[in-house]
Chain A
Amino acid sequence: MAQSLTDKIVETYPELAEDFSAFHPDRIYLRNDSDGAGDYIEAWNYLKPLPAGLKLGK
């Protein structure tokens, strides 16, 4: 089974596994518009960089 976007982020930054407040439009903004494009990162405002292999936007 393919790894979800959230799993990929938590794999890089395990401290986010229980920090649900981090997944917020003002911080790590993960979004799905139910338009077939799937999950994507709308915004990344975290103290550490975007995990390797991930990008902003659809």
Chain B
Amino acid sequence: MTAGRIPSIEGGIQPTLLSTTGDIMYASSASNPARLAIGSSAQVLTVASGIPSWATATGPTFNAYLSSNQTVTSNVITKVQINTEEYDLGSCYDNATNYRFTPTTAGIYQVNITVQANGSSGTTIWLYKNGASIGELARTAGAGSPISGSRFVTMNGTTDYIEFFAQVASGTIVYGGQGTTIFGAAYLRSN
């Protein structure tokens, strides 16, 4: 027997099955041992198609903002064209055409939105999923001050998408600029 190796017996585990520090042994079928090579830094062990594998620890996450003022019509619920990404882990946010987040990992996401506008009679944040409103996140009574809203949203990881709409009452500008009007979402966990 060679030191540091698993003893071989007929029909058992080959002594050379594991070759690298951090390798893991598992059963690829009821009586067949197999090697799972060590994963990359920060990966987690998961199960896919009935066998263990390494996966990235977190799902899609992004944060983006409106780069310049967007003109809207008073009282019209308008999709905000959040066009500048601070980060987009997983490349699931469309910042050029549809301004929507379509995550490729199923699970629960926390969505955060901040908006600042000139509606003297108030501004409302609306969150849309798959083209329809799923609720009013926040509303302010007057102009000037930013408002923020947050919600947990379940996404199917394939077709589900979310968008951010704003409604400005007695006003026509959603203010742009980093730290002003912001849209972000982060993967929390599977569901």
Name the residue on A nearest B165 (C-beta): A31
Interface flags for A11-29 (1: CB within 8 Å of B; 0: not) read 0000000001001010001
A58 to B170, CA, bound (A): 23
B169 touches A5 (CB 8 A): no
Asked whether any CB of chain A lies closer than 8 Å to the CB of B77, the reply is yes
A29 touches B78 (CB 8 A): no
A39 to B168, CA, bound (A): 13
Contact count band on A = 10 to 19
Contact count band on B = 20 to 34
Pick from B74, B77, B80, B122: contact of A31, CB below 8 A: B77
Interface residues in B48-96 by Cβ distance below 8 A to A read 72-81
B75 touches A32 (CB 8 A): no
A44 to B183, CA, bound (A): 29
Asked whether any CB of chain A lies closer than 8 Å to the CB of B121, the reply is yes
| Known A20-B121, A20-B122, A20-B169: A4·B73 in contact at CB below 8 Å | yes
| Known A20-B121, A20-B122, A23-B167: A6·B76 in contact at CB below 8 Å | yes
Asked whether any CB of chain A lies closer than 8 Å to the CB of B133, the reply is yes
A32 to B101, CA, bound (A): 18
Contacts of A6 in B (CB 8 A): 73-76
| Known A23-B167, A23-B169: A31·B76 in contact at CB below 8 Å | yes
Q: Which A residues have a C-beta under 8 Å from some C-beta of B?
A: 4-6, 20, 23, 25, 29-35, 39
A-B contact list, 22 entries, CB within 8 Å: A4-B76, A6-B73, A6-B76, A20-B75, A20-B121, A20-B169, A23-B76, A25-B126, A29-B77, A30-B73, A31-B76, A31-B77, A31-B78, A31-B165, A32-B72, A32-B76, A32-B77, A33-B79, A34-B79, A34-B80, A35-B98, A39-B76
